A and B are shown apart, each in its own frame.
Chain A
Amino acid sequence: MMRAESKNLEKAFWRLSKYIESNTIHYVENCISCGICYEICPAYHLDHKYAPAPIGEWFRRFYRRQLNPIARVLGKLAHAYPLTIENLMKAREYVYRCTNCGACYMVCAAGIDSGHLALLTKSLINDAGLTPQVLKTLNEMELKMTYLTSKVQDLYGKLIEEIKKIAGGEAHINEPDRSVYIPISVCDLVFAKDVIISTIRILEKLGITWTIPDVPVGIRPPMGYVIGDFTSYAALIRRIYLNAKELNCRIILVTDCGYMYPALRFEGPYIAEIEQPCKILSIVELLEDYAERGLLHLRKIADVATWHDPCMLMRRGGVEYPHAILEESTFFTKLKWSGKYSRCCGGGSHMFFLQEEVAKALSEVLEVDLVKMLEKDTFARKIAEFGYEMAKHRAQEIIENGPKIVITACTSCIFMLRKAISESTMPFIEVKHLAEFVAKNML
Chain B
Amino acid sequence: MDLLTFVLWYLSIPTVAIFVGGMVYKVMRYALMARILVPKPEFRWREIAIRKGSFWDIGFWHWIKELIAVFLRPIIWSLRVNVLDFVGGLLMLHILGVILILFLVGTHVGIWFNYVPYLKLGIIDLTPLILLIEKIWFFLCLAVKYSTKVVALSPWSIIVIAGNAYVLALCVLAAIAYKFVDHLIKVKRGIINIRPGDFAALLLLLAVVLTGFLTAFSPITTPIPVQRLLLGLHVLFGEIFFMTLPFTKFSHFLFGYWYGKIHELYDAYAKRGV
Residues of A within 8 A of B85 (CB): 34-36
Tell me the A282-318 residues at the B interface (CB within 8 Å): 314-318
Given A57-B192, A276-B42, CB of A112 within 8 Å of CB of B74: no
Residues of B within 8 A of A32 (CB): 249, 252, 256
Q: Check if B196 sits within 8 Å of A22, measured CB to CB.
A: no
Q: Check if B256 sits within 8 Å of A26, measured CB to CB.
A: yes
Say if the beta carbon of B62 comes within 8 Å of chain A: no
Q: Check if B272 sits within 8 Å of A30, measured CB to CB.
A: no
Q: Check if A270 sits within 8 Å of B272, measured CB to CB.
A: no
Say if the beta carbon of B261 comes within 8 Å of chain A: yes
Residue of B nearest to A339 (CB): B274
Given contacts A51-B191, A54-B193, 5 further A-B contacts (CB under 8 A): A30-B251, A48-B191, A105-B264, A110-B260, A340-B73
Choose the segment among B75-83, B162-170, B232-240 that binds chain A (4+ C-beta atoms closer than 8 Å): B75-83
Say if the beta carbon of A239 comes within 8 Å of chain B: no
Say if the beta carbon of B122 comes within 8 Å of chain A: no
Q: Check if B40 sits within 8 Å of A269, measured CB to CB.
A: yes
Annotate A311-343 by CB proximity to B: 1 below 8 A, 0 otherwise: 000111111000000000000000000001100
Choose the segment among B1-9, B29-37, B101-109, B135-143 that binds chain A (4+ C-beta atoms closer than 8 Å): B29-37
Q: How far is the CA of A35 from the CA of B192 in the complex (A)?
A: 12
Tell me the B20-36 residues at the A interface (CB within 8 Å): 29-31, 33-35
Residue of B nearest to A30 (CB): B256
B24 → chain A, closest Cβ, in Å?
15
Q: Check if B183 sits within 8 Å of A33, measured CB to CB.
A: yes
* Interface size range on B against A: 35 or more
Residues of A within 8 A of B192 (CB): 49, 54, 57, 94
Residues of A within 8 A of B30 (CB): 22, 25-26
A36 contact from B78, B190, B267, Cβ within 8 A: B78
Q: Check if A21 sits within 8 Å of B35, measured CB to CB.
A: yes
Choose the segment among A136-144, A208-216, A260-268 that binds chain B (4+ C-beta atoms closer than 8 Å): A260-268
Say if the beta carbon of A78 comes within 8 Å of chain B: yes
Say if the beta carbon of B271 comes within 8 Å of chain A: yes
Q: Check if B77 sits within 8 Å of A266, measured CB to CB.
A: no
Residues of A within 8 A of B29 (CB): 22, 25
Interface size, chain A (Cβ < 8 Å):
59
Q: How far is the CA of A40 from the CA of B77 in the complex (A)?
A: 9
Given A35-B186, A77-B196, A110-B252, CB of A30 within 8 Å of CB of B257: yes
Say if the beta carbon of A274 comes within 8 Å of chain B: yes
Q: Check if A57 sits within 8 Å of B73, measured CB to CB.
A: no
Residues of A within 8 A of B273 (CB): 318-319
A324 → chain B, closest Cβ, in Å?
16
Q: Check if B183 sits within 8 Å of A49, measured CB to CB.
A: no
B38 contact from A36, A273, A315, Cβ within 8 A: A273
Annotate A97-133 by CB proximity to B: 1 below 8 A, 0 otherwise: 0000000011111111000000000000000000000
B39 → chain A, closest Cβ, in Å?
4
Would you call the interface of chain B mostly helix, strand, loop, or mixed? helix
B189 contact from A49, A57, A270, Cβ within 8 A: A49
B98 → chain A, closest Cβ, in Å?
13
Residues of B within 8 A of A51 (CB): 191
Residue of A nearest to B191 (CB): A54
Say if the beta carbon of B182 comes within 8 Å of chain A: yes
Say if the beta carbon of A29 comes within 8 Å of chain B: yes
Q: Check if A22 sits within 8 Å of B33, measured CB to CB.
A: yes
Tell me the B255-272 residues at the A interface (CB within 8 Å): 256-257, 259-261, 263-264, 267-268, 271-272
Tell me the B164-188 residues at the A interface (CB within 8 Å): 182-183, 186
A356 → chain B, closest Cβ, in Å?
29
Say if the beta carbon of A23 comes within 8 Å of chain B: yes
Residues of B within 8 A of A340 (CB): 73, 274
Given A23-B263, A110-B260, CB of A53 within 8 Å of CB of B197: no
Closest 3 CB pairs of A and B: A318-B273, A111-B260, A30-B256
A355 → chain B, closest Cβ, in Å?
27
Residues of A within 8 A of B38 (CB): 269-270, 273
Q: How far is the CA of A49 from the CA of B82 in the complex (A)?
A: 18
Count A-B pairs with CB separation below 8 Å. 148
Q: Check if A276 sits within 8 Å of B81, measured CB to CB.
A: no
Tell me the A9-39 residues at the B interface (CB within 8 Å): 20-26, 29-36, 39
Given A29-B256, A315-B274, A318-B44, CB of A108 within 8 Å of CB of B267: no
A318 → chain B, closest Cβ, in Å?
3
A294 → chain B, closest Cβ, in Å?
16
Residues of B within 8 A of A34 (CB): 85, 89
Most buried by B among A29, A79, A315, A341: A29
B198 contact from A23, A33, A36, A60, Cβ within 8 A: A33
Q: Please, could you name 21 A-B residue pairs with CB atoms under 8 Å apart, sorted by A?
A: A21-B35, A22-B31, A24-B33, A26-B30, A26-B263, A33-B194, A33-B195, A39-B81, A49-B191, A77-B196, A78-B195, A78-B196, A94-B192, A105-B268, A111-B260, A262-B272, A267-B41, A270-B38, A279-B42, A318-B272, A340-B274
Say if the beta carbon of B70 comes within 8 Å of chain A: yes
Residues of B within 8 A of A23 (CB): 263, 267
Q: Check if A276 sits within 8 Å of B191, measured CB to CB.
A: no
Q: How far is the CA of A33 from the CA of B192 in the complex (A)?
A: 10
Residues of A within 8 A of B40 (CB): 269-270
B260 contact from A26, A35, A273, Cβ within 8 A: A26
Residues of B within 8 A of A274 (CB): 39
Q: Check if A275 sits within 8 Å of B272, measured CB to CB.
A: no
Q: Check if A30 sits within 8 Å of B259, measured CB to CB.
A: yes
Q: How far is the CA of A56 from the CA of B192 in the complex (A)?
A: 10
Annotate B207-219 by CB proximity to A: 1 below 8 A, 0 otherwise: 0000000000000
Q: How far is the CA of A108 from the CA of B257 in the complex (A)?
A: 10
A402 → chain B, closest Cβ, in Å?
23
B223 → chain A, closest Cβ, in Å?
40
Q: Check if B74 sits within 8 Å of A39, measured CB to CB.
A: no
B14 → chain A, closest Cβ, in Å?
18
Given A23-B267, A36-B82, CB of A56 within 8 Å of CB of B193: yes
Residue of A nearest to B259 (CB): A26
Residues of A within 8 A of B268 (CB): 105-106, 315, 318
Residues of A within 8 A of B31 (CB): 22
B52 → chain A, closest Cβ, in Å?
14
B44 → chain A, closest Cβ, in Å?
5
Residue of B nearest to A114 (CB): B193
Q: How far is the CA of A322 from the CA of B56 in the complex (A)?
A: 26
Residues of B within 8 A of A314 (CB): 274
Q: Check if B191 sits within 8 Å of A107, measured CB to CB.
A: no
